[in-house]
Structures are given as C-alpha cells and as structure tokens.
Amino acid sequence: MKVFKNFTITNKPFEKWRFYVVYGVIFIALLALLIQLAYLQLVDADKLIAEGNKRSLRYQNVYVPRAMILDRNERALAVSVPMYDVWADPKIVKQAGGVDVSDIKWQELAKSVSLSVDELEHKLDQPKLRFVPLSKQISPTQADYLKALKLSGINFNKTSKRFYPLGSSVAQLIGLTNVDNGIESGVEGIEKSYNELLIGEAGQRVIRRDRFGRVIEKIQHIDGEAANDLVLSIDERLQSLIFSELDLAVKFNKADSGTAVLIDINTGEVLAMVTNPSYNPNNRSRIDSSLLRNRAVTDAFEPGSTVKPLVVMAALEKKIADLNTIIDTRPFYLNHYEVKDVSYQKALNLAGILEKSSNVGVSKLALKMRPEDLVEFYSRFGLGQSTGLGIGGESSGSISANRTKWLDIERATYAFGYGLMVTPLQLARAYATIGNYGIYKPISILKVTEPVEGKRVVSESIAKTVIKLMEAVAVTGGGVKASVPDYSVAVKTGTAKKLGPNGKYINEYIAYTAGIAPASKPRYSLVVIIDNPKAGQYYGGTVSAPVFSRIMSGVLRTMNIAPDRKQDSKQINY
C-alpha cells in the first residue's frame, strides 16, 4: 500500500522587482516600436514613398505631333501621320499565364507582328525582362485591332511617321527624320536645320500600376505644347514644275545631275530649290545615300562665263570702259598660255563681249583693274560667302579673297570664271542682286512677311545698263535658246571644265545658264546647272539654256506675269 506524505504549501512573499522588469521590457519594446513608427512616418517617409513609387509609378510621355512644314501657300510639304509601336512586358505576360499558342488571340498578335506564334512564345519567355519590342510604326487601325484582343502585358506607345506629299521633288531640300523613343528628329535638310522649331514640347502622364501591370490610378496629366507649323518661302507649284523639267533635262543629256534655284528678286525668298536625281523620302528602304545632299548648297563649282556681267559692271564703275569702247578681242598670250574665244572676233564693244561671251574681252578688262578690285566686286554680290539660309552642309565656296600674288593669266581666267568656286545658290543670289538694280538683299528659305531692306552694291544705272546688254544675249547671242516667248529675259550662259580629284582639269563639263525675267521689270532670278552632260553637247548655250527657257516660261505663266514683248521681236536696242 502506497503511503502519501503530507506537503505543506507555503506562500512566498511577492517579489516586485520581477514585475517591474517584465513590464519595463514590454514598455521599452512598445516605446521602441512607437519611435520606429514615428521615424518611418516623419523622418524617412519620403525615401520609403519614393521606393514604393519606383515599383508602382510609371511616367509616360504624352505624344505631341511634329509640326508640319508648309509651302508659302500653306500646302503640306511634310506632315506627321499618327502611328503606334507595340511592345510587351514578359513579366506581366508570364504572370497572366504566358503565351497560349492555341489561343486565337495570341495567333492574331503573332501574325500582326510578322512572327509565328512559336517565335512569339519564345521571344516573350523571358520573365526577367520588362520590355520587348514587337513592332514599330503600325497604323492606328492595326493598333485598335490589337488593343481589342486585350492581351495582358501587350502595350502600345503612340508615335508618328513623317509623310512627304511631294515626294522626290522636295527630297533634298526638306530632308528626313528618324524616330527615337517615339520622338521624330530631323537628320537631313530643313528637318534637321529647323528641328528645334518643329518638335514642340512633350507632355507627361503619371500612372500607378499593380503587380499585374494594370492601371489602378491616374495621378497626373500634363498636356504637351505643339510647335507652330514652319512656313517656307517655297512654292510647291514651281518646285514641282522645275523638278519635272530638270528630270527631263538630266535624262536627255545623260548628265550626272542637275540643279536649279529660283529666287524672288523683290523679297529674296527662295521659291524653288531642286536637285536631280532625287529619291523617294516615303520609301526609306530604297534610299541611295549618295542622293541625300542638296547640291544647290553643298556643291561649289567654277562658274565659268556666268560671272562676265559682273566684270563688265566693274569696268563701267571704274570707268575702264563705256558702251562705246572697242576692245581688241583677237587671241593673245599671257605667261605662255593662249587666251582665245570659241568663235573668233576681231574687236567687240561691251555689248558684244557679253553677247559673244568673249574670254579675251573680259580678260583685257580685268587686266586694267587690280586683282583685288575684281575680288572685292565679286564679294559685293555674295560670291564665296555663305548665304546664311540655315540649311546644313552649305559650302561657302571661295573667291581667293586673301590671295596676294597673281599671274596675269590667273587674273585673266578669273574674269571668265576660273579660280573661284561658288554654289548654285550663291550664283542665283548674285543674279537677284543684278535684277534688283544693284541692291543686295539677304535671301530666305522661310516665307517673308515684312519688307526686306537691302544694301546698294552698284549704281542703279550700271545695273540697268548691264541688264539691257544681257537681253541681247537671249536674242542674238549665245543664250538664244534661253529666250522665253512673249517675255524679255536677261541671261548669261557658261561652260566650265571640271576639276578632278587631283586638282587638275578633266574632260568633263558643267553647263550653266543664269538670268532674270522679265528683263523690263525683273521679278525672278533663275540658275540652271547641268553637271557632266554626256549626250554629245556640253555648252551652256545648248544644254542648260533650253531648260532655263522652259522653266522660266512655266514660272512666269504660273505666277500670272503679264507678257512684256511680242514673240517675233528679234532685236534689242541699247
């Protein structure tokens, strides 16, 4: 039998210190927790909020269309067409179940982005990535169709694509754009030179997404500010007309290229600037990079006989000769080189020198001046100087402004267009100055709305005299084929040998015709250049002069300029 002992339970005294220790620990823990909460709420709140926002907030640019480029009559030359880029977030796609190759929706998406559904699945099976581009610049109609599929992780960014209604006829002048991160930027021509004026200021949209990529909050929306449309001085009717004529001329003459520039004499506005051959700016995949440059501003040539009217002006101003002066134009030698004319003339007055395009005549006029005098005279008309038009890649050319030593043969050839380099645009500006009766005005590629002040560089009487002499060139002289039925024109043709890569002349030529019309009251300056014609003829009077005639005839009629002479007029009195 088990015996139980009696136990006596004794009450121990209450130990307060244990109570205080336990409650003290609890109090300190609570206090520490409160301090931490206060720190997080008051001191470190911004950092924590920023960390949270980094995970959930998304900043999106609000699309602002690139401004249009318009001609002077507000016809579109370049316009941005809305497009969309398609991209995927593989992490969201994975969270939503991934690509289901048997699902018609995924099959339609794959088809729209030119992938097989298996290729699409493989491409999006990268959950660590958050951005995978699928297709660029699809149409709004295509984008709406794909949006309607409501596939998780498939997103759309609004962008645009540049469209050029006139295509090839304005390609080198207007240029091209590239799209980077949905924003168009100019890379050639006016698109590049005036890019800052065309892009405007993009807006911004701030949204919050959950972990599945769904928008759960729209926080902020700032509208962008579109740029104003850029209105050029170009007249698309004249640009198209000149491009068509130049295209025919280049093909007919089997030339390397052709260039033409048309300027409004009264305002200095460039009404047309054409280079041929050209390219289709709306088909980027087939653009030949060698055709990108705008030859009217990038290419400098020796201008040949087109500078002879300036030499005659200089001679009149310095009283070296007058209209009654007779110049011996028989061939002669300078520094063992013969100076002669294409057609032999025993003696000519100033009118005859221009009419027959006498190298001997202008050489003898130049030899009576100091070399620096003729250099300075060319400079007055803007030769060898940038036009300041704002088109990238412009060549300033050269007129040997700092040269100190001149051989006599160099002084002579300088008078008929060798030893200096000018661009087609500079030459057109010089002839516009002649047509403005000696007033030099800055030229502009933007539409001019206010009167433009100019600077007189030669007297009105001398300018009018030389214009009258140039009229005869188109009636009985070497520029007969540049004449325009029912209108008076003042022209000068020219032919220059080309320089080869080694700096020596080669057996290739440039044919020029430069002039103004109507000669009785000049409105337009036109320069036509045909580079290296290979169809048998190469003189300016036979190659570029007919092109000048067809272009100027079309310009005068398009602009409703009243005829100022009868078609059967043969002789100009001076």
The pLDDT value recorded for residue 569 is 47
Q: What's the CA gap between 350 and 327, in Å, rounded?
A: 8
CA distance 187 to 5: 107
**Closest CA relative to residue 515, chosen from 531, 493, 547, 539:** 493
DSSP annotation of 301: B
What is the CB neighbour count within 10 angstroms for residue 103? Answer: 14
Q: What is the per-residue pLDDT for 125?
A: 87
User: 540, 528 in Cβ contact below 8 A?
Assistant: no
Contact 487, 553 (CB under 8 A): yes
- pTM (two decimals): 0.84
Domain boundaries, given as residue ranges, for the chain: 60-231, 236-279+295-558
CA–CA dist 271, 445 (Å, integer): 8
SS3 state of residue 528:
strand
| pLDDT for position 546 | 96
User: Which backbone phi and psi does 526 adopt, to 5 degrees?
Assistant: -135, 135
In the prediction, which pLDDT does 286 show? 82
CB proximity list for 537: less than 8 A, separation 6 or greater:
253, 543
Could you tell me whether strands 490-499 and 505-517 are parallel, antiparallel, or unpaired per DSSP bridges? antiparallel
3-state secondary structure of 467: helix
CA-to-CA distance for 52 and 415, rounded, in angstroms? 77
CA distances from 56 to 131, 207, 212, 300, 508 (A): 16, 8, 10, 58, 68
Query: What residues are annotated to the active site?
Result: 305
Q: How do the pLDDT tens digits run along the chain, 574 residues long? A: 555 555 555 555 556 667 677 777 787 888 777 777 766 566 555 665 566 666 566 666 666 788 999 999 999 999 999 889 999 988 888 888 888 888 899 999 999 999 998 898 888 888 888 889 999 889 999 999 999 999 988 999 888 889 999 999 999 999 999 887 767 888 999 999 999 999 877 666 666 666 655 665 666 666 667 789 999 999 999 999 999 999 999 999 999 999 999 999 999 999 999 999 999 999 988 888 889 999 999 999 999 999 999 999 999 999 999 999 999 999 999 999 999 998 888 999 999 999 999 999 999 999 999 999 999 999 999 999 999 898 988 999 999 888 889 999 999 999 999 999 999 999 999 999 999 999 999 999 999 988 889 999 999 999 999 999 999 999 888 889 999 999 999 999 999 999 888 888 999 999 999 999 999 999 999 999 999 999 999 999 999 999 999 999 999 999 999 999 865 444 433 2
**The token pair that represents 299 in the structure block:** 């290419």
Between CA 507 and CA 515, with CA 510 as vertex, the angle to 5 degrees is: 155
Q: Encoding tokens for residue 193? A: 């030179």
Q: Which amino acid would we find at residue 237?
A: R
- What six digits make up the tokens of 1? 């039998």
3-class SS letters over 421-462:
EECHHHHHHHHHHHHCCCEECCCECECCCCCCCCEECCCHHH
**Which class in CATH covers the domain with range 236-279+295-558?**
alpha beta
Q: Which two tokens stand for residue 133?
A: 């581009």
| pLDDT at 529 (0 to 100) | 98
Query: Token pair of 480, please?
Result: 């007969």
Query: Looking at residue 220, what is its pLDDT?
Result: 64
Residue 345 has, within 13 A of its CA and on its CB side, a CA count of 21
Helix axes 117-124, 104-112, angle to 10 degrees: 90
Top-tier CATH class for 60-231:
alpha beta
